[in-house]
Structure formats: structure tokens, C-alpha cells
Chains A and B, each alone.
Chain A
Amino acid sequence: MSPSQETRFKSLYQEYQKHVYAYCRRRVSADVVDDVVADVFLSVWRRIGDVPEGDDALPWLYRVAFGVSSNHWRGSSRRRRLEAKLESIGVPSGLSIPDQIIVREEVRDAVQLLHRLGNADQEIIKLSVWEELSHRDISIVLGIEENAVRQRLHRAKKRLTREYEKAQRRTSATPAAQKGGER
């Protein structure tokens, strides 16, 4: 790595470390997030010549973080197997749910619904709602066309809404809710 590349790496690290940390923390648990962030920047270090200039740098970093987070989760054999075991006995696994404490029950339920979607749907919604990226930036992260982002985001939101709607109906159909309605 040349001195100019080293300077570039340091400047990327200083400017975007919080963004990358937040991205990873939204996808992996607190106990491993430091390792995942370190792996992301190690990849950036190796590919410093590929990092685009300007505003495209952050989506590019997210793309690397996307790969590292995914692989961390998939590669973590014992963890994923434990989670699957929990799933198999009816305990929500939190496959990619960070271990945040959510106070409001309805918020927790909504996040759980999000995590029941397919991984691709989850990711595109998180990029849009949590990272607040534009369609263009999401297209860089996911490596797809902007039109495809629009379509996939639209479909993902529809699926999430459908799940939410079903959950709302189930809640209102429970005996407790019905009793409440009779009062």
C-alpha cells in the first residue's frame, strides 16, 4: 500500500467508521460487532484501490459490510445451529435480529415481522428505512439496477405490510381483544 493509499484508508476509516459500525450493529449482535467491523475494514484495506471516490464510497463500504455481515452470520456454525434449534422448538431465533432492547411491544412485534421476511426483503427495507439510503445508493450496495431496487423494495414493503395486516387481524380476533371490544 502506497502512502497515498494509506492516507485514503485512514480518511475513509475516520469518516465512515460510525456508519459502518451502525450498519453492522443493525445486523449482528453486540458481542461480535467489533469483529465484523474489523473484517469490513480489513477488506477495505485489501481493496483500497477499488473504493470509489466521493459519495459512492459509503454505499461501497456498505456493500462490503453486507458481505461480511452475511458471511459472519452464515459462517458462524455453532451460532446458526443454535438459532435453528431454538426455531425448531418454537423459540424465535432472532437470526439476524440485533439484541437491542425494544421497550414498546408493537415496535418489537414489527421488527420481528421484518425478520420473518426473506433475507433479501429484510436487507432492502433496512437499507431504505434504517440506513435511509436513496434508491441509487441501494443499487450500489446490492449491485443491481435502480429500477430493480424500486421493484424489490415495493414488493418487500408489500410483504411486510401483508404480514403486519395479518398480525393485526389475529390480535383483534383473540378472545381478550373481543372481550375488550364488547365492553
Chain B
Amino acid sequence: MNYEEQVLALVREGNPIPDLATLTVDTAENTVYLATLTQRSSEMTQLDTKKVAPSEPRRRLVPILVIAAAAIILGLAIVFITGNEEAPIVTEPTPTTVTDATPTTFAEVAPTTQPAPTTVVNAWDQIADFGEAGSQGEYRTGDFFSVPFTVNLPDGWTRLAPETATEVSLTPKYDECFTPDQGRTDNYVDCTLMVWFSTSSTPAEDVITAAMTTEGVNVTDPVVTSIGGVEATFVDASLASDQQAVINWGDDIYPLFPGSTLRLIAVGLPQSTVVISIEDFTNGASLGEAQPVIDSIAWKEAD
């Protein structure tokens, strides 16, 4: 038996579940699980039905909205005509009744069709969970995270892992992980990007120094930037070989794996350093996707 046959035979022997026949699965738990899914399906069907057939109040609302829309169009048309009354092609004086009607119609419609813009900042736990489609919006970490901030998320972004006092995380378009026909074949993970925010007592410059002095890692020159109006420094790091390496900045670490690029941003806030670790599984091609999110960060006072 040659070496290859030997090692494969040993690996085969090391199979944690060598035989499915010996595997027992808790059928009671499965039944509960299936029932839960069936219940969810039923609820989703009800929601779909509601979408197709509007409820009675909504039906009554439709003609009102049609009339309102017609009034708006009429009002705008009148405004347009009135606004052009001095144009060379208009030779006859504008009828009095029309000019009288214009402000009245406009004033009546304006409050309902042009509401004052309001900024809604959503709580962090309103970000969709990992595995669900997130909604675009502005979100604020609660006081659970010791350095609160707000961030604007595009559609699709979700929370990646449970939040802790020192760490929150985000990822875009989770469903990409499960697209069977996705073109990328060499990545172990099809997800493109993960963004971690963690607090650290290590000074920002020491975090960057730790990255730059980690053996086996290629690191770009530090770039000074601004995150939420606060000075920050970032480097891009990737493995120099297939050997795993760990960037360790004292009270926290970030492991690097083959095929990933890590953008490490250290923000020197007065109360704490915030380390933003953006891990890109597409050799840097997806880093730009995180940029608008990072650019939207605004640091907040704790409530």
C-alpha cells in the first residue's frame, strides 16, 4: 500500500459518521420543526392573500386616492397654464375663475401629497437576522455596544452574528451564499463580505502596528482617513502564503485565511478605539460595497 492509499484509508476510518444506518435522529424534534415550518408557510400564505386582495378599508381608499390624484393633476395643470400666461402664444387674459381656483386646490392637496420628510432611525435589532433579506435604512446601535453609532444600510444587509458589548457585525446580500449557479468556484465561502465593529482598549496606532508586524502577512502602507468625522487609519492585509496567520492587537485578534483580504480600520475615539474589520472573500473586489456603509457612520453619545 503506497502513502496515498494509506493516508486515505486512515482518513476514511476517521469519518465521524461512517454509517448512516447507525445514525439516530430525534424524530419528535423533527416533527416539531416541520410543524413550525408548516405554520410559517400558512402565515406567509395569509400574508400573500392579503397582498392580492386588499381589505375593505383599503378598497374604499382607492377611489379617494384616484380623486386626489386627479385633483393634483388638475391643480398642476392649472398652475402650469397660469405660469405660462405671459408667454407670447397666450394672447387672451386668463379667466378670473381659474386664478381663484389655483391656490385653493393646491393648498388643499399639498399637506397630503407632500408630507414633511422625517428621518427614522431604526433600532439595531430591526436589522434583519442573518439569512433574511434586510431593508434599506438608518440603524443605530443600542447602548449594548459601548460606542454607539448610526449607519445607513442598503437593501439586503443583515446582521451576521449576535451582538455583544464589544462587537457588532454586518454582511450584505446573504442569499448570495446559496445561489447554486454562482460563478465563483474557487472560494470556499460564496459570501462576499463581512464587516465587524469591535471596541478595543489598544490605541489605534498600535492596532495598525500589530497588523504591520504580523509574520506571514502582506500589509499595505497605512492610510489616514476619517470615519464619522474622527481620524482613522487603515491597512489592507492578506496572507503571504497558504499558512493561516493571526493579527493580534492585545485585547483582540483577527485570523486571516487564504483567499481573504482584510481591511483593518482603527478609529481613535476618545473613549475607546473602534476596530472595523472588513473581510472580503473576493480578493478585494467587494470592498467597495462596504464603502458607502462605512462612509455613513455617525458616532453618537450614549443615551
Q: Decide: B34 and A110 in contact? CB cutoff 8 A.
A: no
By the criterion CB–CB under 8 Å, are B180 and A143 in contact? yes
Residue numbers in A under 8 Å from B242 (CB-CB)? 118
**A1-B45, A22-B20, A71-B177 are known contacts. Are A88 and B248 too (CB-CB below 8 A)?**
yes
A interface footprint on B222-253 (CB within 8 Å = 1, 0 otherwise): 00000000000000000000101010100011
The 8 Å CB contact of B20, one of A18, A63, A88, A111, is A18
Those of B133-164 within 8 Å (CB) of chain A: 160-161, 164
How far is the CB of A65 from the nearest CB of chain B, in Å? 10
Q: Is the CB of B181 within 8 A of A87?
A: no
A75 adjacent to B160 (CB under 8 Å) = yes
Q: Which of B36-44, B53-61, B100-108, B112-120 contacts A (4 or more CB under 8 A)?
A: B36-44
| A-B contacts at CB below 8 angstroms, number | 152
Give the residues from 24 to 58 in chain B that come closer than 8 angstroms, CB to CB, to chain A: 25, 29-30, 33-34, 37-38, 41, 44-45
Which residues from chain B contact A144 at a C-beta distance below 8 Å? 185
Q: Is the interface of A mostly helix, strand, loop or mixed?
A: helix
Closest to A122 in B: B188
Q: Is B92 an interface residue (CB 8 A)?
A: no
Total contacting residues, chain A, CB less than 8 A: 70
Sort chain B's interface into a size bin.
Answer: 35 or more
Which residues in B have their C-beta under 8 angstroms from that of A106?
10
Q: Is the CB of B255 within 8 A of A67?
A: no
CB contacts (< 8 Å) of A18 on chain B: these are 20, 23, 25
CB distance from A105 to the nearest CB of B (A): 10
Determine if B191 is an interface residue (Cβ-Cβ < 8 Å): yes
B258 in the interface, Cβ–Cβ < 8 Å? yes
Cβ-defined contact, B16 with A25, below 8 A: yes
By DSSP majority rule, is chain B's interface helix, strand, loop, or mixed?
mixed
In the assembled complex, the Cα of A42 lies from the Cα of B33 at a distance in Å of: 10
Q: What are 26 A-to-B residue pairs whose CB atoms are below 8 Å?
A: A1-B45, A9-B37, A13-B34, A18-B25, A45-B37, A67-B189, A71-B191, A75-B160, A75-B194, A76-B161, A77-B160, A85-B246, A87-B246, A88-B246, A88-B253, A113-B7, A114-B14, A118-B258, A119-B258, A120-B186, A129-B8, A129-B11, A129-B15, A148-B185, A161-B7, A164-B3
B92 to A: closest C-beta gap in Å: 64
Residues of A within 8 Å of B45, CB to CB, are 1
Chain A residue numbers with a CB within 8 Å of B194 are 74-75
User: In the complex, are the beta carbons of A104 and B178 less than 8 A apart?
Assistant: no
> Which one, B14, B33, B44, contacts A107 given CB within 8 A?
B14
- Is B25 touching A161 in the complex (CB atoms < 8 A)? no
Chain A's nearest CB lies how many Å from the CB of B292? 22
Instruction: Say yes or no: A143 contacts B11, CB within 8 Å.
Output: no
Inter-chain contact A119/B7, CB cutoff 8 Å:
no
Contacting pair B16 A100 (CB below 8 A): yes
Select B10's contact among A13, A81, A107, A165, beta carbons within 8 Å.
A107
Q: Is B96 an interface residue (CB 8 A)?
A: no
Binding site for B on A (CB under 8 A): 1, 6, 9-10, 13, 17-19, 21-22, 25-26, 34, 38-39, 41-43, 45, 47, 50, 60, 63-64, 67-68, 70-71, 74-78, 80-81, 83-85, 87-88, 98, 100, 102, 104, 106-111, 113-114, 118-120, 123, 125, 129-130, 142-144, 148, 157-158, 160-161, 164-165, 168
Q: In whole angstroms, what is the CA distance A22 to B151 when docked?
A: 40
Decide if B196 is an interface residue (CB 8 Å cutoff). yes
Contact at A21–B255, with CB atoms within 8 Å? no
The complex places the Cα of A52 from the Cα of B188 at a distance, in Å, of 22
Q: Which residues of A contact B189 (CB under 8 A)?
A: 67, 70-71, 74
Q: Specify which chain A residues have a CB less than 8 angstroms from the CB of B254 in the assembled complex.
A: 81
B23 touches A120 (CB 8 A): no
Contact of B97 with A by CB under 8 A = no
Whether A75 pairs with B253 at a CB distance below 8 angstroms is no
Neighbouring A residues of B167 by C-beta, 8 Å: 77
- Contact yes or no, B30 A13, CB < 8 A: yes
Is B185 touching A43 in the complex (CB atoms < 8 A)?
no
Taking the complex as formed, is B130 at the interface, i.e. its CB lies under 8 A from any CB of chain A? yes
